[in-house]
Structure 1
Amino acid sequence: MKRSFRRALWVGAVVALTAATAPMASAFGAGSVTTTFTKVQDWGTGHETRVTITNGSDATVATWRIEFDLPSGTSISSSWDADVTRSGNHYVAVKKSWAGGLAPGASFSWGYNGAGAYRAPLNCTINGAPCGGGTPPPTTAPPTTTPPTTAPPTTPPPTTPPPTTTPPDPNGKKVVGYFAQWGVYARNYHVKNIHTSGSASKLTHILYAFGNTTGGRCTIGDSYADYEKAYTAADSVDGVADTWDQPLRGSFNQLRKLKKMYPHIKVIWSFGGWTWSGGFTQAAQNPAAFADSCYRLVEDPRWADVFDGIDVDWEYPNACGLTCDSSGPNAFKNVVSALRARFGSGNLVTAAITADGSNGGKIDATDYAGAATHLNWIMPMTYDYFGAFNAQGPTAPHSPLTSYPGIPQQGFWSDAAIQKLKSKGIPANKLLLGIGFYGRGWTGVTQTAPGGTATGPAPGTYEQGIEDYKVLKNSCPATGTIAGTAYAKCGSNWWSYDTPATIGGKMTYAKNQGLGGAFFWELSGDTGNGELIGAIKGGLG
């Protein structure tokens, strides 16, 4: 588990705001398949819409195709979890290749951001039938793109009850993603990208990585990226440029704007990570003083409204990471207990922890179960099990869900960590499954299947042996799967990484295990339209 500066988790519940439904559905056997359009947000110059397909028939729907018109003055600017095409004001949305069939009684949601104020779609059909339910029109009926002589009202009749606002589900599955503060440099990934990719509507929590731990205190990690960098209008979440005398700038102010646009999102400040965990050793000597310093920093009046809690990413208590710690098995529990006491019940306190499921390994070195009572949730980092930090191999998937014949190390797979943590008494709904939005790879490999020898790390854009999913999906498409994840050999390079399909399988596992949701490292590794986060959200839904 060597990924520099990594890992943090965010939890929350997706808020469905003002609901407005347009008539939509289609019949496939007994019963109907219906479609509803829900206005999630409307900020005047733009809006977000969630589209939900519900299979009310008695047969599985293998595929779907939705056609609809948008009134003049509104249009779709970006979409996720469906393939959308446009001709004038007419739109066609079809099922993504990674999305499975829709079983009887099941629902599937996709969404879009639109230009202009929200207006309900018109003339909607799903697989040729009305979106509100019923049978397809007779063959002599005019095409759905031809408006009827008398246009239907765009608002419900007076007898229709007004739409209701659905509160966030406190027991809903969490979708937590890390935002890496250094991504604003070479990666050119900013908070605005969380919005434009469609990812913001799928996230429940964002983990801001990282704050530092020095001198037994929580400290700023990068003041320029955090709160000094001035954003132009083009790079700002809301299109408004920073001014020179503005009290708060940088990513903190951008996160404030994002939360205003997406009120359901909670932001957690994560401290530590691979590089900055060394300070936890001193923090453990006086947990109360450490917790007080963290509270004062997170609740600094300049940005107190930005953050909803604190995350501890200590790699690794009473074990070795970049440095070794010998604070004892109770140190981690004592630190998070002090944080909970200082931050109170109204703030989130979470932790990213080891996923070493081996006998006598890192999970066994610390009383994580004792700490769990003080934490909202725990994120075992179920990735980075294997990689070119062992330069000669053997090649192995870095995030296997299960074991497989020839795995290089016993206990180094996701299910091993989950089962060990559950066996220690940690409730399943306090555990989130970790997903890497990147691959790990070797070069000098001649064997396609896992287990081959190598000569070193494969070339990577920012770091040898590591590459983003958004690059790998095109440069080295997955050709095989093993232990619930994917791999590919391209020339002499061998890569392993998760795809939308393998993430779907992992989300099925998470639901079957009763886990609280999933988290991932990190947002900039995804495609520009949020392909991987869409698979997480869709798989947990």
Structure 2
Amino acid sequence: MRSFRPRRLTALVALTTLLVIAAPPTAVNAAGKPGRSTGYHRVGYFTQWGIYGRAFPVKKLDTSGAASRLTHVNYAFGNVSEDGRCYVDGGPGEGDAWADYQRPVPAQESVDGVADAWGEPLNGNFGQLAKLKAKHPGLQVMISLGGWSWSTYFSNAARTDASRRAFVASCIDLYLKGNLPVLDGGSGGPGAAAGVFDGIDLDWEWPNWPGEPGNVIRPEDRENFTKLLAEFRRQLDAYGRQTRQHHPLTAFLPANPATMDAGYEGRKIFKYLDFATVQGYDFHGTWETVTNQQSALRVPKGAPDDPDFSVEVAVDGWIARGAPRHKLVLGIPYYGQGWTGVTGGGNGLFQPAAGPAPATHAAGYEDYKQLKNLAGNGFTVHRDLRAGHAWLFDGTTFWTYDDPAVVLQKTLYIRRAGLGGAMIWSLDGDDDNATLTRTIGLGLTTW
């Protein structure tokens, strides 16, 4: 495997700095304020299921060098029950308690090289996250609630004062106090996971806006989301007075301006959030029949959709709605969207396609660690330096993705725009050298 080369990225720093500085003003940079010089958040989502097909245990965050370059790890995901509670359930589609804290992790996958024994109170991913924090004391771990598949009942949880109080209390009890259900064999129990999680990340997709089919949606979700954040902040602060710690509260926010208006009270929500991560990807994908960018910094020239989505559109949209720029953390994808059966010639961009491209785990969706091997192996890398995106094309198959050059350009955009940092979806898409995470670390290093 090709090793990480700092010199190559140093050259990219010079190139991408010029590209960002040369960019025309937007609502973000027109004010002329300098970027933040300290305290950038570097947030990575660790997926519960990544230990299976992707063979990505918590240990890889340590051995790859990723953990030392992150400020937060968000564990994806915690579920919300129909009656509005945080809960762990091993039933089909409802959770994976085995992966969370029951699975005995073998020595070769363990952060400290010590194997778990069957039935210990804290095994699995939770136990390994505890070991990772012991090795990297500055790293904070958040439980991320919801996600695309588990946002079904957020509206129920947020509906009334009573439901909000009960929901928040259940989440703090389960995850921060660590009172886990006892499973077969004995894993879990009162305080079993105490100290693993430092705070709460809300990934409600989306208040008062369609997400996964079947989600409960109400017009009052918009106001209730703000009230839910207020209740989380109140109870987290009360718990923090006991632990003598600050327990952070964050949220994942959409890129679509229409979704912003339907589901969020703009400026009000940031009163309660330490920061918010902003969707910087899935602008286009294989649900469409024309190839396109999924994560460009700016809308490319010649884009077929007007209006269109981009990082700039998303960030400017939140700032226009009252978001403090230093509380906006830009999401960066460690995967690509791909089409095959592309016709029309040229470089493949904005061309008709027959359907999703074949891929390792799901058609049309491929991790960076796989896509990077396509360059030079029948595929050509194309770049739009002005718009800030890259893609691979072999004449038939097209992949839009972020490589180190694009990621570095985005970190320089973060600095210039005065944003709060970068977020990663998801850490298991990177290679064994954590090339993309190292690039974010380099780009957001304070000089």
TM-score relative to the length of structure 1? 0.68
Q: Does 1:384 align with 2:251?
A: no
Q: Does 1:373 align with 2:284?
A: no
Of Structure 1 and Structure 2, the greater helix share is in 2
Residues of 2 paired with 1:101 and 1:218: CA distance? 44
Residues of 1 paired with 2:392 and 2:135: CA distance? 39
Residues of 2 paired with 1:522 and 1:428: CA distance? 23
Q: Deviations over 1:122-162 (max 9, x none)?
A: xxxxxxxxxxxxxxxxxxxxxxxxxxxxxxxxxxxxxxxxx
Question: What secondary structure sits across from 1:322 in the alignment?
Answer: coil
- RMSD of aligned Cα (Å): 2.1
| Equivalences, count | 383
Residues of 2 paired with 1:263 and 1:317: CA distance? 35
Residues of 1 paired with 2:129 and 2:338: CA distance? 33
For 1:257-268, what aligned pairs fall within 5 Å after superposition?
257-268=131-142
Larger Rg: 1
Q: Which sits farther off after the overlay, 361-370 or 276-285?
A: 361-370
Amino acid at match of 2:439: A
Show the counterpart of 1:97. Answer: 8
CA 280–237 in structure 1, closer or farther in 2 if over 3 Å, else same: same
Q: Does 1:291 align with 2:168?
A: yes
Show the counterpart of 1:434. Answer: 331
Q: Which sits farther off after the overlay, 362-371 or 181-190?
A: 362-371
Q: Does 1:326 align with 2:234?
A: no
CA 242–409 in structure 1, closer or farther in 2 if over 3 Å, else same: farther
Amino acid at match of 1:356: N
Residues of 1 paired with 2:281 and 2:155: CA distance? 24
Show the counterpart of 1:513. Answer: 417
Residues of 1 paired with 2:250 and 2:61: CA distance? 22
Q: Which runs of 4+ in 1 moved over 6 A?
A: none
Q: Deviations over 1:37-85 (max 9, x none)?
A: xxxxxxxxxxxxxxxxxxxxxxxxxxxxxxxxxxxxxxxxx99854xxx
Instruction: Specify every segment of 5 or more residues in structure 1 that has no aligned partner in the other structure, as ranges.
Output: 1-77, 83-94, 104-168
Query: How far apart are residue 170 of structure 1 and its match?
Result: 11
Q: Deviations over 1:87-111 (max 9, x none)?
A: xxxxxxxx432322788xxxxxxxx
Query: How far apart are residue 364 of structure 1 and its match?
Result: 1.1
Q: From 183, 193, 211, give the equivalent of 2:78.
A: 211
Q: From 202, 213, 223, give the equivalent of 2:69.
A: 202
User: 1:458–1:465: 8 Å Cα contact kept in structure 2?
Assistant: yes
Question: What secondary structure sits across from 1:269 in the alignment?
Answer: strand
User: 1:458–1:493: 8 Å Cα contact kept in structure 2?
Assistant: yes
Show the counterpart of 1:458. Answer: 357
User: 1:174–1:204: 8 Å Cα contact kept in structure 2?
Assistant: yes
Query: How far apart are residue 460 of structure 1 and its match?
Result: 1.2
Query: How far apart are residue 423 of structure 1 and its match?
Result: 1.4
User: 1:484–1:502: 8 Å Cα contact kept in structure 2?
Assistant: yes
Query: How far apart are residue 264 of structure 1 and its match?
Result: 1.1
For 1:518-533, what aligned pairs fall within 5 Å after superposition?
518-533=422-437
Q: Does 1:398 align with 2:291?
A: no
User: 1:209–1:270: 8 Å Cα contact kept in structure 2?
Assistant: yes
Query: How far apart are residue 369 of structure 1 and its match?
Result: 2.3
Residues of 1 paired with 2:338 and 2:328: CA distance? 28
CA 102–515 in structure 1, closer or farther in 2 if over 3 Å, else same: closer
User: 2:233–2:272: 8 Å Cα contact kept in structure 1?
Assistant: yes
Q: Does 1:276 align with 2:173?
A: no
Show the counterpart of 1:241. Answer: 115
Question: What secondary structure sits across from 1:177 in the alignment?
Answer: strand
Query: How far apart are residue 538 of structure 1 and its match?
Result: 0.6
Residues of 1 paired with 2:256 and 2:115: CA distance? 45
Residues of 1 paired with 2:13 and 2:279: CA distance? 31
Q: Does 1:193 align with 2:60?
A: yes
Amino acid at match of 1:219: Y
User: 1:351–1:378: 8 Å Cα contact kept in structure 2?
Assistant: yes
Q: Does 1:488 align with 2:392?
A: yes
Residues of 2 paired with 1:195 and 1:210: CA distance? 21
Query: How far apart are residue 406 of structure 1 and its match?
Result: 3.1
Residues of 2 paired with 1:208 and 1:191: CA distance? 11
Query: How far apart are residue 456 of structure 1 and its match?
Result: 0.5
User: 2:47–2:76: 8 Å Cα contact kept in structure 1?
Assistant: yes
User: 1:500–1:532: 8 Å Cα contact kept in structure 2?
Assistant: yes
Amino acid at match of 1:460: A
Residues of 2 paired with 1:279 and 1:342: CA distance? 21
Residues of 2 paired with 1:315 and 1:371: CA distance? 16
Question: What secondary structure sits across from 2:149 in the alignment?
Answer: helix
Show the counterpart of 2:25. Answer: none
Residues of 1 paired with 2:324 and 2:308: CA distance? 20
Residues of 2 paired with 1:177 and 1:227: CA distance? 20
User: 1:177–1:522: 8 Å Cα contact kept in structure 2?
Assistant: yes
Question: What secondary structure sits across from 2:98 in the alignment?
Answer: helix
Show the counterpart of 1:355. Answer: 255
Q: From 24, 37, 47, give the equivalent of 1:180.
A: 47
Show the counterpart of 2:20. Answer: none
Residues of 2 paired with 1:418 and 1:172: CA distance? 19
Q: Percent identity?
A: 40
Q: From 295, 304, 321, give the equivalent of 2:194.
A: 304
Amino acid at match of 1:228: Q
Show the counterpart of 2:372. Answer: 473
CA 310–478 in structure 1, closer or farther in 2 if over 3 Å, else same: farther
User: 2:342–2:348: 8 Å Cα contact kept in structure 1?
Assistant: no
Residues of 2 paired with 1:201 and 1:362: CA distance? 35
Show the counterpart of 2:232. Answer: 339
Query: How far apart are residue 452 of structure 1 and its match?
Result: 0.2
Query: How far apart are residue 471 of structure 1 and its match?
Result: 0.4
Amino acid at match of 2:438: G
CA 231–170 in structure 1, closer or farther in 2 if over 3 Å, else same: farther
CA 342–409 in structure 1, closer or farther in 2 if over 3 Å, else same: farther
User: 1:79–1:198: 8 Å Cα contact kept in structure 2?
Assistant: no
Show the counterpart of 1:314. Answer: 204
Q: Which sits farther off after the overlay, 288-297 or 525-534?
A: 288-297
